[in-house]
Amino acid sequence: MPRTLRAEQFDPKEICIVHLVQRCVRRAYLAGQDAVTGKDYGFRREWIRCRMECLASVFGVDILNYSILSNHMHLVVRTRPDVVQAWTDDEVALRWLRIFPGKRFDEQLAEPTTVDVKALAGNMERIAVVRARLSDPSWFMRALSEPIARLANRQDECTGSFWEGRFKAQTITDEAGLLACSMYVDLNPIRVAMAESPEQAVHTSAYDRIAALQGKTIPSAAAELVAMEPEEKGKIIRTSTQEMLRKRKAEMKKKRGQSILRDAWLAPLALDERGKPGPQVCKSNIRASDKGFLSIKLEGYLKLLDWTGRQRSGEKASIPAELLPILDRLGIAGEMWRDLVWNFKRYFGRSSAAGSPQSLKDSAAKRNREFAHGQKLVRKCFTA
């Protein structure tokens, strides 16, 4: 059965939450330990994380959770067309040209100028298309995957595909599905024995949030959302000296390298239901918005994550009483929580959506379908 069309999954005018999975070609360990050559390509996971951080500062897409493994990656993102609509035409043009600069005289200087920005912003038909793309998961994944593939191929001195092909997209239909999916993503390195606990699973959103609570910082990889003056760019192109190029790169690195908390580029976890209405656009331009996504505090999420991560044997264990209200509110059966997270792929692996049975039914009806895969199977994980 063919995968669901993207047009059926995402309405470009509506906010939606999507679980994205991208695998390396032939599921080879192109971002881990190569069993054939013995080379360790684990450093490429940091390439991917930095690229995600850069795109989080440009796109109207909130990155809620992520995990990067040796041969694939998971992301949970929230599209924010409302945030993109709050940007001016000049802002939209600058953000687009920062990621997709088009042809330039010198590829080392693929910098948008004020003239480039004004030219694009003045094209009303084109700017409307670009505005829609800046909150589109497909364009986000394109901007994430292609540069990583080029860089890896250049390093390996080869050509061809780095990624397996079309990424998998799964719509999250309600908060119960979002909580289960978030923990499934954060626990992936533990599931495949890459780490013993969330604190050790470096390239995950859980690790970043835990590290930020401890005050750990990283150099910011956010894009510089400032256009270059044509005179400055022309001077660099005319001289074309290595010294000028190094100077320019050093200036950009200094601006981008300001320290931020390790999770500052991720969407806040706790959703403040009494907070400010509207898109809550991030003023510091390190992420799309300051809006949370789960109706629980980070402390409660990490406690539930830690408990769930310890339940590897498959034996039914009683969930701590202090954590039960989180699941009760979402209608999740406490005794089935461990199974729902650890076997998330068994319940929703064939489905284009993930959530409670009723929300899956409603999602299928919106697409003029009678049911969604997993709708009947996952019923046992929820209370009546």
What pLDDT, in 10s, does the model give residues 327-374?
999 999 999 999 999 999 999 998 899 999 999 999 888 888 877 888
What pLDDT, in 10s, does the model give residues 226-270?
888 877 666 655 555 556 556 655 655 555 558 999 999 999 999
Position 26 scores a pLDDT of 80
CA 90 – CA 70 distance, rounded (Å): 39
Position 239 scores a pLDDT of 55
Q: Which fold has domain 6-80+135-221+257-381?
A: Alpha-Beta Plaits (3.30.70)
CA 179 – CA 176 distance, rounded (Å): 5
Position 145 scores a pLDDT of 95
Residue, of 5 and 289, whose pLDDT is higher: 289
Position 5 scores a pLDDT of 74
Strand order, beta sheet including 72-79: 61-68, 72-79, 17-23, 168-172, 353-354
Whether residue 382 has pLDDT greater than 60: yes
Angle in degrees, 0-180, between the axes of helices 175-186 and 205-213, rounded to the nearest 10: 80
* Tokens at 15, concatenated: 């906010």
Mean pLDDT, rounded, for 33-51: 88
Whether residue 2 has pLDDT greater than 50: yes
Whether residue 311 has pLDDT greater than 80: yes
CA 65 – CA 185 distance, rounded (Å): 7
Q: Where are the domains of the chain?
A: 6-80+135-221+257-381
Torsion, CA 142, CA 7, CA 59, CA 146, rounded to 10: 0
Strand partners, 40: 33
Residue whose C-alpha is closest to residue 218's, from 187, 256, 186: 256
Residue, of 231 and 204, whose pLDDT is higher: 204
Strand partners, 75: 20, 66
* Stretch (H or E) spanning 171: strand 168-172
Contacts of 57 (CB under 8 A, 6+ apart): 222, 223, 225, 265, 285, 286, 287
Summary mean pLDDT of the chain:
88
CA 75 – CA 276 distance, rounded (Å): 26
**What one-character DSSP code corresponds to residue 313?**
S
Q: Is 197 in contact with 309 (CB distance < 8 Å)?
A: yes
- pLDDT category at 101 given cuts 50, 70, 90 is confident
CA 51 – CA 268 distance, rounded (Å): 19
In one-letter notation, the amino acid at residue 349 is: G
